[in-house]
Amino acid sequence: MTSVIPDFVSLATTRIQRDMSRVKHPMMIKRAQASVIDNYVPLPIDFISAYQLAEQDTNNFIAYITPDQSMTVQSQGWNPSQSPVPILPPYYLPTGNALYYTIIGNRIRLVPAPGQAAPDLLDLWYYAKLDPLNNTTTTNWVLSRYPDLYLYGALVHTAPYLKDDQRIAVWDGMYQTILRDIEVEADRANRPQSKLVAARRSF
């Protein structure tokens, strides 16, 4: 099986990638310096989804709106001081400070169009794809942190090859159990932590 093991690992990586994209594990978050080009920002090649976007010089955060909302704002303008909820009248000034962004294809679009006021650089924090494993890249954060998930993810694909389909349910069950534990861990990590307060005794 030595020759086909890399294929099993590759298939496991693809599945783990899909599952982690849903889980939104904090270890997936990466930071990139994004350059503004004509009101657009190219996305990193390993981009899955945005976490937050901010102007690098002012640290002002830029909020996300949908592509349809961005078309409305760009064509009609929007007065944010009078419309705290996105895309509510009155509209005005289709150009100005970039307060919002949307994602179209493989680029971020700043909204409204900042024109000459466009910031030179943005800080983009985003959920990134897993590094595929090969002779050069021998590990990634999932393999380092959850080697058992990789093990059972690869074993699921060995069963059809070995014509032992009964083992699929066993390996997949172990994979799902580990994945659920990871989801719980990720959910706790993404929640704001508060200090524990000792309960008062009542008599």
pLDDT given for residue 198 in this prediction: 45
pLDDT given for residue 36 in this prediction: 81
Going by pLDDT thresholds of 50, 70 and 90, the confidence category of residue 192 is low
Going by pLDDT thresholds of 50, 70 and 90, the confidence category of residue 197 is very low
Going by pLDDT thresholds of 50, 70 and 90, the confidence category of residue 155 is very high
Distance CA(203)–CA(49), nearest Å, equals 53
Q: Is pLDDT at 126 greater than 60 in this prediction?
A: yes
Contact 64/50 with Cβ under 8 angstroms?
yes
Q: Is pLDDT at 23 greater than 70 in this prediction?
A: yes
SS3 sequence of 42-83: ECCCCEEEEEEEEECCCCCEEEECCHHHHHHHHHHCCCCCCC
Q: What is the mean pLDDT of the chain?
A: 80
Q: How far is CA 83 from CA 52, 69, 70, 196, in A?
A: 22, 13, 15, 39
What pLDDT, in 10s, does the model give residues 132-147? 888 889 999 999 999 9
Would you state the structure tokens that stand for residue 122, as one six-digit string?
């943005």
Q: What are phi and psi of 163, to 5 degrees?
A: 60, 40
Q: Is pLDDT at 72 greater than 80 in this prediction?
A: no
